[in-house]
């Protein structure tokens, strides 16, 4: 396929597996919700300035400092109305961006400050997602959004959150996740929760291989049994080029924006863990812009996603936190096309990868691939249908 046009990138059907509900609020909504609950701690009172504050503060170079910005969004997500509105707008914003299926994740335990119960939180978010889906469909952008419940890796209640996910598995919750600071909090701390979920035949993903390397990925897969990896970008630590570690090789390539697209693949070797991840088709939920902000990658051109895509790992493209990265799926796709040589064919491939890797039932995934994604891509480059 030829170079994509900007309009194609916006219209292309997209699938988003890794997007934090508390990392995707509209700045104006934060201001209005802060007003309505009497929260006075916002760092800016105007939507543009607040948006800039989030992006600049998240540009911290470290995951723990990046995560501090969530205090501000969580402050306004403590009531039923606040959660409902944020969830509804999330579904509508994703749909307007061309997303046709999304999994939105959040940690229910972070929304109890003003007296909601865990169940109350999940029900408010679910109701908001349903409202957003209905509004998006009415606006001509049908979308389906399911929720993933996240437990925080530094906390000790993962099994309680896992039980909550199972309680709502037939009511809009499709999976479970753990997130938060990675170094010092290995996923095996929460083994009980993962074993419980496996016994329940449920699905889960684990943030691993973002701020910490291979041991975290290895534990997530081989001890915890993760279905997917959140980020997983550090799997390249188990890849060599001409016998040198990938990262060392990459350091010598910073002046060459085409280094990853031009690299001959017969110079590349996978270690046992990387080979396992590829052989087992373990989905990698990759989030390029977020990784630049936390220093998990140096640039879009040199982001490992391009090599991993060429090596045919089960790569998916994601936003992580649209507010903190001032991004969208269209923007992530555009960056890869502009700076890393991606084409519409690459985007179609990651979209189908993502749909295959979703936590909804197989027949529903297949229907979205056959009835929405493939026809949507086939229609690109042609005039938009008259609404
Ligand atoms: O990229 C990330 N890595 C690890 N944790 C994250 C990331 N983005 C957000 N969160 C954490 O997940 C919680 C629930 O959504 C957020 O509150 C934030 O603390
Ligand atoms: Zn994340």
Domain that holds residue 343: 6-377
Q: Where are the beta strands (DSSP E) in the chain?
A: 14-20, 99-106, 144-152, 173-179, 204-208, 228-231, 239-241, 244-245, 268-270, 284-286, 315-317
Asked if pLDDT for residue 288 goes beyond 60, the answer is yes
Residue 107 lies in a domain: yes
Q: Exactly one of 103, 109, 123, 210 is catalytic; which is it?
A: 210
Say if residue 371 is exposed, middle or buried (CB neighbours under 10 Å; 0-12, 13-18, 19+): exposed
From 64-68, 174-178, 318-322, 373-377, the region with the lowest mean pLDDT: 64-68
- Answer yes or no: is 291 within a domain: yes
Residue ranges of the annotated binding site for substrate are 20, 22, 180
* In-domain check, residue 275: yes
Looking at the CA of residue 110, tell me the nearest atom of ligand 1.
17
Ligand 1 near 238 CB (within 6 A): no
Active site residue 210: yes
> Is the pTM above the cut of 0.95?
yes
**Residue 70 CB–ligand 1 contact under 6 Å:** yes
68-96 tens-digit pLDDT? 999 999 999 999 999 999 999 999 999 99
Report if residue 241 sits inside a domain: yes
The rounded distance, in Å, linking the Cα atoms of 335 and 23 is 20
Question: Do 353 and 315 touch, CB atoms closer than 8 A?
Answer: yes
Residue-level pLDDT at 148: 99
For residue 314, name the pLDDT band (cuts at 50, 70, 90): very high
- What's the residue count for the chain? 387
Q: Is residue 383 part of a domain?
A: no
User: Based on the structure, what is the number of domains in the chain?
Assistant: 1
Confirm whether 382 is domain-assigned. no
Distance 64 CA to ligand 1 centre (A): 10
Residue 290, H or E segment: helix 288-293
In a domain, 387, yes or no: no
pLDDT > 90? residue 385:
no
Predicted complex ipTM: 0.99
What CATH code is carried by the domain that includes residue 68? 3.20.20.140
179 lines ligand 1 (CB under 6 A): yes
What integer best gives the mean pLDDT of the chain?
96
Residue 359 lies in a domain: yes
Ligand 1 pocket, 22 CB below 6 A? yes
């Amino acid at each position: 396929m030829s170079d994509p046009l900007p309009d194609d990138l916006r219209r292309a059907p997209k699938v988003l597996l890794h997007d934090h509900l508390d990392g995707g609020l509209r700045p104006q909504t934060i201001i209005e919700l802060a007003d309505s609950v009497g929260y006075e701690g916002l760092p800016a009172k105007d939507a543009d300035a607040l948006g800039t504050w989030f992006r600049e503060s998240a540009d911290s170079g470290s995951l723990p400092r990046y995560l501090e910005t969530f205090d501000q969004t969580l402050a306004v997500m403590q009531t039923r109305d606040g959660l409902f509105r944020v969830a509804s707008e999330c579904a509508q914003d994703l749909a307007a961006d061309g997303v046709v299926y999304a999994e939105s994740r959040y940690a229910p335990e972070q929304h109890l400050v003003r007296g909601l119960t865990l169940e109350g939180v999940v029900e408010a978010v679910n109701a908001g997602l349903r409202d957003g889906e209905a509004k998006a469909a009415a606006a001509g952008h049908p979308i389906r959004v399911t929720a993933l419940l996240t437990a925080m890796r530094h906390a000790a209640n993962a099994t309680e959150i896992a039980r909550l996910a199972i309680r709502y598995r037939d009511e809009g919750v499709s999976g479970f996740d753990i997130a938060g600071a990675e170094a010092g909090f290995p996923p095996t701390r929460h083994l009980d929760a993962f074993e419980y979920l496996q016994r329940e035949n449920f699905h889960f993903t684990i943030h691993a291989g973002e701020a910490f390397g291979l041991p975290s990925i290895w534990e997530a897969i081989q001890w915890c049994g993760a279905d997917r990896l959140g980020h997983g970008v550090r799997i390249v630590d188990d890849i060599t080029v001409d016998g040198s570690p990938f990262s060392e090789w990459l350091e010598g390539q910073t002046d060459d924006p085409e280094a990853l697209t031009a690299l001959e693949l017969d110079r590349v070797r996978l270690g046992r863990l990387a080979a396992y991840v590829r052989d087992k088709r373990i989905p990698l939920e990759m989030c390029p812009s977020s990784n630049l902000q936390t220093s998990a990658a140096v640039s879009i051109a040199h982001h490992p996603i391009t090599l991993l895509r060429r090596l045919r790992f089960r790569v998916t493209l994601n936003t992580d936190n649209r507010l903190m990265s001032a991004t969208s799926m269209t923007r992530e796709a555009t960056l890869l096309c502009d700076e890393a040589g991606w084409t519409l064919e690459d985007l179609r491939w990651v979209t189908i990868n993502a749909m295959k890797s979703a936590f909804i039932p197989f027949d529903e995934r297949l229907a979205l691939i056959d009835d929405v994604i493939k026809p949507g891509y086939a229609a690109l480059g042609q005039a938009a249908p008259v609404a």
